[in-house]
Amino acid sequence: MKLSTFTCNVALVWCSLALSASANPLYTKCIACHGAQGEKAALNKSLVIKEMSKEDFMKALKGYKDGSYGREQKAMMKPQVANLSDAQIEELASFIAKK
Ligand code: HEC
């Protein structure tokens, strides 16, 4: 009885950790550069994206896609966003950018 309660709790903790780590599959490939919560300046060059407004975040991603946004490292971002739909960009913005 004791043991099974213990196992169950461990499984629950593990499960919620696993869930929070992959809360949004669209963001998984961004983590290496921008941090799990968007808290890092990618390659020390980008803005801290979790501090961006949702509007600015979406403008940036759409701009990397069509070439209308970006600075000297924008070539890094283009392949990241090339296949994202507007709906996916909005989903990412809701997930990472400032509310
Ligand atoms: C290989 C590293 C790398 C990956 C992976 C990456 N980024 Fe970036 N990101 C950068 C760099 C570098 C910049 C700054 C580019 C520039 O000079 O305009 C940037 C800029 C941005 C910006 C604009 C911030 C600014 O400084 O103007 C947003 C928003 C952003 N990234 C979101 C994402 C999202 C969302 C993903 C995943 C789909 C992602 N990035 C994946 C490196 C990366």
Per-residue model confidence as pLDDT tens digits over 28-85 = 999 999 999 999 999 999 999 999 999 999 999 999 999 999 999 999 999 999 999 9
Q: 34, exposed or middle or buried, with CB in 10 Å at 0-12, 13-18, 19+? A: buried
- Give the pTM: 0.84
Q: From the centroid of its chain, how far is CA 18?
A: 16
Comparison of pLDDT for 54 and 7, the residue scoring more: 54
Ligand 1 binding pocket mutation candidate from 39, 80, 84, 88 (most atoms within 8 A of CB): 80
pLDDT bin (cut points 50, 70, 90) of residue 99 is confident
Ligand 1 binding pocket mutation candidate from 50, 69, 76, 94 (most atoms within 8 A of CB): 76
Q: How far is the CA of 59 from the centre of ligand 1 (A)?
A: 12
Neighbours of 64 (CB within 10 A): 22
**Measured from the CB, is residue 48 less than 6 Å from ligand 1?**
no
Domains and CATH numbers, the chain: 24-96 (1.10.760.10)
